[in-house]
Chain A
Amino acid sequence: MIGTKDRTIDTQTYGRGLEGLRFGETTVGRIDGRAGRLWYRGYPLEQLCEQSNFEEVAYLVMHGELPNRAEWDAWDRELRAWRTPPRDALAVLQWLPTDAHPLMQYRTMLSVAACMMPDLENTRLDAQWQRPARILAWTAALAAAAIRHLKGQPPLPPKEHLGFAANFLWQALGREASEEECRAFEVSLIVQAEHGLHAAALGALLVISTGADLGGAVLAGMGALSGKLHGGANQDAFEMFHALSLGGPGRAQGFSEKADRVQNDGTAAGVESRNPTSGASRANQARQEGAPGLSEKVDTTAVLDHARAWTRRKLEEGFRFPGFGHRVYKTHDPRARALEPLAERMLRATGHGVLWEVYGAVKHEVEAKLGPRGIFANVDAVTGLVYHPLGLPTASFPIPFALAIQTGWMAHCLEYIPSGRMIEPGSVYLG
């Protein structure tokens, strides 16, 4: 038995990427990968999606219990009080190229904000506990600003009467979203609020274990999350569905070449001279922004036939579909299941029904072939289908994931600090 509190030693067998290694004990979240279930502090995900809101879930994930009225009032007040990030953190955008990935701009704003957190060099536990509300509120405002910056628009001030999710949408989109939109977005935050010791959470935990501050830990988590094997997967998955929904084999062919490159690059890290030009990214974005109108004009049957045929062909080629398969879930992902009905409703209501059909077709083909091997659609396949009809730009899809999941990182860090040793694995020297 491994414990973080005592120094017990156990013999464990594990694979590359620490697959199968049990790091230690946690009381934050529980994942049952075989049953496809997820609990935060003992509460089933489905119940929280139906009855709670993101602020309350964040409190629960970090503090371990649902807040009573007084605790809620204090928490909610604090989250609202910190909605205006430091001006310098927003101002840094003016120095950054607009075509840098929004996650990069966002993390740069965070790294500036991390210079401005009150009492920032204090790493005592009580000081660390002061930080979650600030981090959640500031990051939401900064993330919204990064999304606005994509379109060359200035940041918007918060609206006092709106909750966390609704206010984020207002600051990001420049319009007050409908109740249904807010709810769908809120559920997407709830389902992504905590997920065990994934790479980003591990990165955050590593940093906190060195005695750093919670902001530094969140920055490290953001780093891992920005990678395309992690937070970037929802953007990749959506772009695949989107290209297929545009129908023509040429379009899908174009995607497949790009997707192939994703796959190949996944294992290689060569050195090439960099190419700072970004015409391609702008063209790509323009294509996506022009897409909604197009998607309704194409023949749905032909689009779906094509999507199925393309999927089958790529399955034959052994292509790794973004948004499918998970290291822990070997069955349906409960987070995806919770979001699917919301995504379908929103896509149909906004005239993107074909996207939903394409998702269904690809999912059916992939799961029919790979389901027996434990590969199913995961949450990254579905979040884009909620964010796209809201009007969030594709390149910004990893951002809401980051906003939500940092809750889990902070919970793991705050749990680890009191008893935690510095995390230091070893390596085996070959040679």
Chain B
Amino acid sequence: MNKTITSAYNWREPSLTWPVTTETGPGMEGVIACETRVAWVDPAGGGIYYRGVPAVDLARTQTYEQVAFLLIEGKQADEHPDEFAGFRDRLREARRIPAPVVDVVRNLPRDTHPTRLLRAGVSALGCFMMSSDEDRYGTRHWQDLEIVGQLTRLVGEVARHRRGLPAGDPACDCSLAAGLLEAINDREPTPEETARLDMAWVFYADHGLDAPAFTGMVVGSALADPYYNIVAGLSALRGAKQGGTGEYVLHELLKLRDPHVARAWARGMLAQGWRIPGFGHRLYRQPDPRVEEIKQQVRALADQKGQKMLVDVAEAVEDEVTSRLAQKGVHANINLYSAVLFHLLGSEPEMVPCLYAVGRVAGMVARVREYLAHNRLFRPLEIYAGPEERSYVPMEAR
């Protein structure tokens, strides 16, 4: 590609020829890391498309399992029912992880942050899934699908461990969403609860080349084992500027007693120039279509459960913020209402990044697998701006 690309985000081309020339800025802004057919974020329209299908449409009509199939295999579940059934069964079956992996998690201090517990569990899982030879010679493969199922089980076990519940029983043949809700709340979920979790996961399944996905790709490009990609991706996901946002949002919202307090809090934050978590986006300058959808669904679930306070609080905050900042392109992002949703589904703030991770892993798997099909180790350069050559001085002379 010989023309200059001013913003590599979400660029769309019929084809791409390396090397590329782009304008680049700090934090790799504008840099094209790869080509993809997995998903496209339309910064103008604010929509995200998975394999060409708007995510909002998918969230309304499909389960997370179907969307994982779409992202990873590139096929619509309803057009390939037999293949999808095989995929789904493997995904669900994968929840039967080796008992010692659960022991690893359960033997860690209960008050450790859940993403750390999850990371340790995923790392241990890798030790069981591949022996050292498979790990290194040819037999090593992405156990893609299984990871999605395994991660779901581990998140459930992390939640149970935190609550002092005994290890869960994965024997059920229910969906990933239903299984996880049952693990977290220790009761069978309602169909509405399961459907809302599916929706959140569909929305989180891919969002362009964000930090967890790109970290997974960088690690994958060295041909590391797939569990390691997830471990690394989880580390990136946890960062305060990434998946940690949802946790922070819920944490803050829960402190606000009612909509009046919420409005006052939001006004105060804005007056002092603070950024309010759950608002604004590096890509979008207009309302995110996913937010409207999730907001309606959260409202419906809250009404049904009779737990309206937190959604009232979130709407009050949104109203305060957008009335002042909408003209500057700041709108509620998906983390605002998903935080409320996760709360309604039984999650405390600390568990939010883990719940987010389950959804996110489908897109990660799809993107890493796509990159590995034409792999090239990531290895950028730096500009050296340090001291000129100098000679070693023994300690006595320093």
Is this pair of chains taken from one and the same complex?
yes
Chain B residues with CB under 8 Å of A425's CB are 8, 28-29, 31-33, 209, 214
Query: How many angstroms between the C-alpha atoms of A374 and B331 in the bound complex?
Result: 52
Closest beta carbon of chain A to B211's beta carbon, Å: 5
Residue B235 at the A interface, CB < 8 A?
Answer: yes
Residue A153 at the B interface, CB < 8 A?
Answer: no
Query: How many angstroms between the C-alpha atoms of A108 and B21 in the bound complex?
Result: 40
Chain A residues with CB under 8 Å of B231's CB are 107, 111, 219-220, 223
Partner of B136, one of A198, A235, A422: A235
Given contacts A203-B219, A206-B211, A223-B228, contact A92 B241 (CB under 8 A): no
Beta-carbon nearest neighbor of A431 in chain B: B37
Q: How many A-B residue pairs have CB under 8 A?
A: 467
Chain A residues with CB under 8 Å of B391's CB are 43, 47
Which residues 254-307 in A have Cβ within 8 Å of B in the complex? 258, 261-262, 264-272, 274-278, 280-281, 284
The answer on a CB contact under 8 Å between A11 and B218 is: no
Given contacts A47-B392, A210-B242, A224-B224, contact A115 B236 (CB under 8 A): no
The answer on a CB contact under 8 Å between A426 and B10 is: yes
The answer on a CB contact under 8 Å between B8 and A111 is: no
Contact stretch, chosen from B137-145, B249-257, B262-270, B319-327? B137-145
Residue B374 at the A interface, CB < 8 A?
Answer: yes
Residue A105 at the B interface, CB < 8 A?
Answer: yes
The answer on a CB contact under 8 Å between A223 and B219 is: yes
Partner of A12, one of B7, B22, B375: B22
The answer on a CB contact under 8 Å between A100 and B7 is: no
Contact stretch, chosen from B121-129, B163-171, B186-194, B306-314? B121-129
The answer on a CB contact under 8 Å between A426 and B382 is: no
Residue A197 at the B interface, CB < 8 A?
Answer: yes
Which residues 1-29 in A have Cβ within 8 Å of B in the complex? 1-4, 6-29
Given contacts A23-B382, A197-B379, A281-B133, contact A95 B140 (CB under 8 A): no
Residue B210 at the A interface, CB < 8 A?
Answer: yes
Given contacts A101-B136, A423-B211, contact A276 B379 (CB under 8 A): no
Contact stretch, chosen from B62-70, B109-117, B177-185, B336-344? B109-117
Partner of A104, one of B113, B225, B385: B225
Given contacts A24-B382, A426-B209, contact A278 B239 (CB under 8 A): no
Residue A365 at the B interface, CB < 8 A?
Answer: no
The answer on a CB contact under 8 Å between A421 and B127 is: no
Residue B78 at the A interface, CB < 8 A?
Answer: no
Beta-carbon nearest neighbor of B241 in chain A: A211
The answer on a CB contact under 8 Å between A423 and B214 is: yes
Closest beta carbon of chain A to B258's beta carbon, Å: 29
The answer on a CB contact under 8 Å between B208 and A426 is: yes
Which residues 364-394 in B have Cβ within 8 Å of A in the complex? 369, 372-394
Chain A residues with CB under 8 Å of B383's CB are 1-2, 22, 24-26
Given contacts A23-B28, A108-B104, contact A101 B19 (CB under 8 A): no
Closest beta carbon of chain B to A265's beta carbon, Å: 5
Query: How many angstroms between the C-alpha atoms of A13 and B23 in the bound complex?
Result: 9
The answer on a CB contact under 8 Å between A272 and B139 is: yes
Query: How many angstroms between the C-alpha atoms of A227 and B217 in the bound complex?
Result: 12
Query: How many angstroms between the C-alpha atoms of A284 and B131 in the bound complex?
Result: 12
Chain B residues with CB under 8 Å of A198's CB are 379
The answer on a CB contact under 8 Å between A430 and B13 is: yes
Query: How many angstroms between the C-alpha atoms of A262 and B372 in the bound complex?
Result: 14
- Bits for A404-431, please: 1 = Cβ < 8 Å to B, else 0: 0000000000000000111111111111
Which residues 272-291 in B have Cβ within 8 Å of A in the complex? 282
Query: How many angstroms between the C-alpha atoms of A13 and B22 in the bound complex?
Result: 7
Q: List 19 extra interface pairs beyond A97-B131, A269-B369, A270-B141, CB under 8 A.
A: A9-B24, A11-B24, A13-B21, A22-B383, A41-B386, A66-B393, A88-B108, A97-B128, A111-B116, A111-B120, A114-B116, A199-B222, A207-B211, A210-B240, A211-B242, A222-B228, A229-B222, A426-B209, A427-B34
Chain B residues proximal to chain A, CB less than 8 Å: 4, 7-16, 18-37, 39-40, 52, 100-101, 103-104, 107-109, 112-113, 116-117, 119-120, 122-124, 126-145, 208-211, 214-215, 218-225, 227-229, 231-232, 235-242, 244, 282, 369, 372-396, 398
Identify 10 residue pairs between A and B in the complex whose beta-carbon atoms are under 8 Å apart, listed by A's number.
A101-B131, A202-B380, A207-B211, A210-B237, A223-B222, A265-B140, A423-B211, A424-B29, A425-B31, A426-B31
